[in-house]
Amino acid sequence: MPPGVTTVIDDASAAKRQIDSQFREMPGLRLTSAQAARLFGIPQADCERVLAELVSAGAIVRRADGRYVSGGQA
């Protein structure tokens, strides 16, 4: 693949690593999907998909109020 060309998979993987990293580095972080999309600069639908993957992996938790928190803060 030519330099500077990325794939959707690479972008999704990078977004997943970035979001996971932020929740680990800032344990008090509590975000809605809309807030996360703005913070991480990705489309909301993509952000929601990544957040769902992180929830499935146990890295983060979606609370009853709709906010996502670190997995250790359920």
Give the pLDDT band (50/70/90) at residue 73: low
pLDDT of 74 higher than 80: no
Whole-number Å distance between alpha carbons of 43 and 72: 26
Residue ranges of domains in the chain? 30-74
| pLDDT tens track for 4-48 | 544 444 577 888 999 999 999 998 999 999 999 999 999 999 999
29 close to 70: Cβ distance less than 8 angstroms? yes
pTM reported for the whole predicted model = 0.81
